[in-house]
Amino acid sequence: MSTIPDPAELLALCEDLARTAGEHARARTADHGGVARTKSSAVDVVTAVDEEVEALLRARLAELRPDDGVLGEEEGSVAGTSGLTWVVDPIDGTVNFLYGIPSYSISVAVVSGSADPLTWTAEAGCVHAVALGTTWTAARGLGAWRDGERLGPRPAPPLARALVGTGFGYTVEERTLEGALVAQILPQVRDIRRLGSAAIDLCLVADGRLDAYYEIGLNPWDMAAGSLVVSEAGGAVQGLTGGPASPAMTIAGGYDLVEELAAALRAAGA
Ligand code: IPD
Ligand code: CA
């Protein structure tokens, strides 16, 4: 069994992987070839670049960390023996990427203990927003950074003055639920933003450009790196009733605001 490197070393590797993958995505932006296939619905799309970036990340990890597990959006899960799992989203914000909207990112995180957001310990993560030219990083116990600048806790407004990010799934069932929920939350907040990359949304909460964020139905790879950036920046990331964030619900923001938003979501029937 290989030894587990410290979070600083893992962070350097997350960033290196995300930046290398980012170069590939950048080179393929203008010529991505459109939709290669669809997943959960006709609008849940995958481009060749999603697949190429994930293959690139897996090849680098096989070389550098052969005993670690990998969980990725396009190719699923491969168990490891080291106790570490790399949780990767090759392009988070694929629809933005497809349309040439710059809000997409490569999200690379490494977790220990399990590959389940309810029980894992996130060790390090990097969200690299290739076309925005912004990179967020975090390592357990060491802090969070945007482009090398340390992020810290910031005062959050009450819910009534909060700018709240959210996102929607891809199926009719998910969207019907999410639409009903957002219709109840919108009148209670400053405004809602739907920017299209959950990983970036979480990082915007960490650096104060959103006050809070919530979403139902995130996958582990959407939230792994961004959630660590929020918590290492001094923010809260939780589920609907205060436990860990999970695919059921992810809520992020300053501690008091997250409590207020969670209560509003519960009252709205989430
Ligand atoms: C999606 C984005 C989006 C969120 C969806 C995710 P993808 O990931 O993060 O913002 O609302 O829930 O599935 O499909 O672009 O990798
Ligand atoms: Ca994603």
> Which of 3.30.540.10, 3.40.50.300, 3.40.50.150, 3.30.70.20 would CATH assign to domain 7-151?
3.30.540.10
Query: Could you give phi then psi for residue 157, rounded to 5 degrees?
Result: -75, 165
pLDDT of 24: 96
Distance of CA 72 to the CA centre of its chain: 12
Q: Side chain identity at 201, as an amino acid letter? A: D
pLDDT of 246: 85
Counting ligands in written order, the one closest to the CA of 46 is: 1
pLDDT of 2: 55
Tokens standing for 266? 């519960």
Residue range 168-193: mean pLDDT, rounded: 97
- How far is Cα 99 from Cα 132, in angstroms, rounded to an integer? 15
Q: For residue range 211-235, list pLDDT tens digits in order.
A: 999 999 999 999 999 999 999 999 9
> Has residue 157 got a pLDDT over 90?
yes
Q: Specify the residue with its C-alpha closest to ligand 1, atom 16.
A: 92
Domain ranges of the chain: 7-151, 159-267
Instruction: Identify each DSSP E strand in the chain by its residue range.
Output: 35-38, 45-47, 69-72, 76-78, 84-92, 105-112, 121-129, 134-139, 143-146, 149-151, 163-166, 191-193, 212-215, 236-238, 250-253
| Binding residue numbers for Mg(2+) | 73, 89, 91-92, 222
pLDDT of 12: 98
Atom of ligand 1 nearest to the CA of 95: 15
> Has residue 69 got a pLDDT over 70?
yes
Instruction: Say which of 47, 85, 94, 137 is annotated catalytic.
Output: 94
pLDDT of 83: 96
If residue 255 lies in a helix (H) or strand (E), which one and from where to where?
helix 255-267
pLDDT band at 143 (very low <50, low <70, confident <90, very high): very high
Higher pLDDT, 37 or 92: 92
| Binding residue numbers | 73, 89, 91-92, 222
Q: For residue range 250-267, list pLDDT tens digits in order.
A: 999 999 999 999 999 999
Q: Side chain identity at 108, as an amino acid letter? A: V
> Has residue 34 got a pLDDT over 90?
no
- The per-residue pLDDT of the chain, averaged, comes to 95
pTM: 0.96
pLDDT band at 30 (very low <50, low <70, confident <90, very high): confident
- How far is Cα 12 from Cα 68, in angstroms, rounded to an integer? 16
Candidates 102, 13, 106; CA nearest to 53 is: 106
Residue range 91-120: mean pLDDT, rounded: 96
> Has residue 52 got a pLDDT over 60?
yes
pLDDT of 38: 85
Fill in the DSSP letter of residue 113.
S
Q: Side chain identity at 97, as an amino acid letter? A: F
pLDDT of 256: 97
- How far is Cα 3 from Cα 261, in angstroms, rounded to an integer? 40
Q: Which of 29-43, 118-132, 188-202, 216-230 has the lowest mean pLDDT?
A: 29-43
Fill in the DSSP letter of residue 170.
S
- Going from the Cα of 95 to the center of ligand 2, the distance in angstroms, rounded, reads 10
pLDDT of 4: 81
Contact 225, 251 (CB under 8 A): no
Query: Could you give phi then psi for residue 147, rounded to 5 degrees?
Result: 45, 45
Most ligand 1 atoms within 8 A of CB, residue of 44, 92, 170, 223 to mutate: 92
Q: What angle do CA 124, 94, 180 make, to 5 degrees?
A: 95
> Which of 3.40.190.80, 3.40.50.620, 3.30.420.40, 3.40.50.150 would CATH assign to domain 159-267?
3.40.190.80
